[in-house]
Amino acid sequence: MYPTISCAAIIVTGIRGISSNYHGSMHLTPTVLVAESLLLLPLIGMAFTGELFCTAVGRLPLWLRLALPATAAIPYHLVAHSNENFNWWFVGVYAALPVLLAALLWDAQRRDVEQRGVWQDFLVLLVLGIVVEFRLFEHAWPKGLGSFNRLILLDAALYGFLIIRRLSGVGFHFVPQVSDAKNGLRELLFYAPVALLLGLSLGFLHMHWLMPSLAKFVVSWISIFFVIAVLEESYFRGLLQNLLERRIGRGWALLVASVIFGLSHFNKGATHFNWRYVLLASLAGIFYGRAWRAERRLVASAITHASVDTIWSIWLR
């Protein structure tokens, strides 16, 4: 119980920290805190109670299980209703889209009992990927709160795949294990010389001899871990690589998921196709994927991911 409460507090701190870093000051109001809680509670339930949470929700009537994701509209209304960007159309979108995704995954679960992966699974991933990659809904939120959109979609994805689809091997378990640090840091050590050699030679990385305070480093790492690494690792490793393994095998799945991960960075930090970023991110994806598949735990790959991003943002950007 106490580890769960502590980790929940750390997650909230991470969300606020990353929002402040990337979107400017974040105005914490009671409605923002309530919206955060509504979105974090399902994630905490899935992350720290595992099968207990999924089984409990799974006992609900089917119609209620499929309708529950419509509550994603509530956080949007709470946070944005008094803002000039508020639009009732987005209330409808946040209510309907998660329900539609859940219905597709229920159909996939019904048709694909052996969990080989079917077109519904990949259609859901495609829709989620497009919405997040091109930030299609973030303009509907008040300034500085666009990260709520990604949190809603993470909720929808994990609810759909873990509770409705009951997909195995995702690894969304956050009770810490020593092996998570071992596997995550091992892949960091493997990737670091590759990234340094290639990144510096391509002019993508630039060395900065800074010595931030320990507090700043830790807050930055926690922020990146919970808001960037957990989201991206859940999608690219826990869902995409996991499903691809069932269709094309472990080796090809690792390669394909890593290339798609790299391509998702094509427009980051540039107005043109940023091929250097794509190349380094694709290579990073291989090591993140290796960390995840060692024991099929997202904590391990998120440790590698957060460490790489933190080191890059402080010393090599």
Average confidence score pLDDT of the chain:
91
What's the rounded Cα separation, in Å, for the pair 9 and 230?
Answer: 16
Q: CA-CA distances (angstroms) from residue 208 to 26, 189, 313?
A: 28, 20, 10
Provide the 10 A C-beta neighbour count for residue 5. Answer: 11
Provide the 10 A C-beta neighbour count for residue 104. Answer: 20
Question: Amino acid identity of 214?
Answer: L
Q: CA-CA distances (angstroms) from residue 197 to 154, 192, 206, 286?
A: 34, 9, 12, 17
What's the rounded Cα separation, in Å, for the pair 160 and 157?
Answer: 5
Give me 158's structure tokens.
């994990």
What's the rounded Cα separation, in Å, for the pair 64 and 220?
Answer: 39
The larger pLDDT score, comparing residue 148 to residue 24, is at: 148
pLDDT for the residue numbered 93: 98
The larger pLDDT score, comparing residue 255 to residue 18, is at: 255
Span 9-66, pLDDT tens digits: 455 544 554 444 444 445 678 999 999 999 999 999 999 997 899 999 999 999 999 9
Per domain, the residue ranges of the chain are 1-168, 178-317
Backbone phi, psi, residue 184, to 5°? -65, -45
Q: What's the mean pLDDT in 98-116?
A: 98
Task: Give SS3 for 235.
Answer: helix
Span 175-234, pLDDT tens digits: 999 999 999 999 999 999 999 999 999 999 999 888 889 999 999 999 999 989 999 999
Furthest-apart CA atoms within the chain: distance in Å? 58
Question: Amino acid identity of 42?
Answer: P
What's the rounded Cα separation, in Å, for the pair 316 and 196?
Answer: 9
